[in-house]
Structure 1
Amino acid sequence: MPENFDLNGWIAHGSDGNNPHTAEQIDPIIIAGINYMKGLGFSRIGAAGYCFGAKYVVRNYSHGIQCAFLAHPSFVENSEFAAIPGPLSIAAAGEDDYFPTHKRHETEEILRTTGQEYQINLFGAVEHGFAVRADPEDRVQRFAKEQAFNQALVWFNHHLGEG
């Protein structure tokens, strides 16, 4: 994130001060999207949440998502992880202030208790945001980003594929 970026201000007020990114504003959008897909006849829905979006995938899992993938999640509460009703895959950054080592370990312990299939891949030497903002000239960052993408594809194919 840019050095001067006010993340808490963005969440509370949005980019122009009039479009907050709070659960009250975002949850209905996610639910409407899931319901729209179900209305089109989709019976198997996978969801991917990167960074801030991870929280909303996890929060709204029970509205019709069959499996989920998260990359460098942020702001997901332990109680939200504990409530997941289906499989979850996480691509985590080794250097992450939003999903630090202790939070990753707590999440792993929580996921063990859910009875759901889960996967956590740790990509060392990359920072929060690596799966979307990797420097393609940096081979370590590029590898982590590509592998996180592949992780998501394999996960969704395993849980949503025909076979």
Structure 2
Amino acid sequence: MASSQCCENPPTLNPTCGQGCVEDIGGLKAYITGPSDSKLAVFLLSDIFGYEAPNLRKLADKITVAGFYVVVPDFLYRDPYNPNDPKRPIMEWLKDHGTDKGTEDAKAVVAALKSKGVSAIGAAGFCWGAKVVVELGKHSLVNAAVLCHPAWVTVDDIKEVKTHTAILGAETDHLSPPELVKQFEEALSAKAEVDSFVKIFPGVEHGWTTRYDVDDETAVKKAEEAHQDLLAWFTKYVK
């Protein structure tokens, strides 16, 4: 089940925001930023609001400073969730945007990155996207994974992960409450071959890493702290 928190604080989408450009990769449109000749890539998997969210693209641009080629694919096929459409509530929308389809598309993106010479890949997922990243991690398709306020991820999912994984959780999160995140941490800690980093951020709610108010200084600082943790994880394992 989706939580109302999935739909709160929707961003004002902007197809022209960011320092990069939109290109095709793996059969999808994607926001591309950073050095195109880099052998190290990171791709970001959006929440239900899609790849035109300004804060998500701003994060993509920020990640490039470490030398990463960053892609933000449109896994939603120009059909992000619209909270103002009463005829298509979130559960109806999700019928057309299952994470199983997202996983197949993500595999195609991984293959496309490798075909252009990328040697190491990191993937970060936000809410909806985090479930897809977990599926990639189960099959060692990426070198490092970051899950930000994940949705629909289970302890059994985490037990199958084979990729070094960081989980950034919120103190107030109906989809992945701290109690569940702690269980994720225990499951990861039991896997000697997998390194992990788990952190629960106090005073924030589900979605805080990308759906924050840019005019709220405290919210910005909390998001930036998470962004630094994300970047540190990729710097450590995507090399």
8 Å contact from structure 2 (residues 134, 157) kept in 1:
yes
Q: Aligned residue for 1:11?
A: 94
How far apart, CA to CA, are the structure 1 residues paired with 2:184 and 2:227? 21
Q: TM (normalized to structure 1)?
A: 0.87
Q: CA deviation at 1:99?
A: 0.7
How far apart, CA to CA, are the structure 2 residues paired with 1:139 and 1:90? 24
Distance 1:24-1:157 versus aligned 2 partners, 3 A rule: closer
The alignment covers a number of residue pairs equal to 154
How far apart, CA to CA, are the structure 2 residues paired with 1:149 and 1:2? 20
Percent identity of equivalent pairs: 28
Q: CA deviation at 1:2?
A: 4.0
8 Å contact from structure 1 (residues 94, 123) kept in 2:
yes
Q: Which runs of 5+ in 1 are unaligned?
A: 13-19
Q: Greater helix percent: which structure?
A: 1
Q: Write the mapping of 1:110-149 to structure 2, written as runs, cut at 5 A.
A: 110-115=187-192, 116-149=194-227
Q: TM (normalized to structure 2)?
A: 0.60
Q: Greater strand percent: which structure?
A: 2
Corresponding position: 1:43 with 2:119: yes
Q: Aligned residue for 2:237?
A: 159
Q: Which runs of 5+ in 2 are unaligned?
A: 1-6, 10-81, 84-88
How far apart, CA to CA, are the structure 1 residues paired with 2:211 and 2:189? 30
Corresponding position: 1:94 with 2:171: yes
Q: 1:26 aligns with which of 99, 102, 107?
A: 102
Q: Aligned residue for 1:77?
A: 154
Q: CA deviation at 1:70?
A: 1.3
Cα deviation 1:98-154 (Å, max 9, x = unaligned): 111221121111111222111112111111000011122333321110011111111
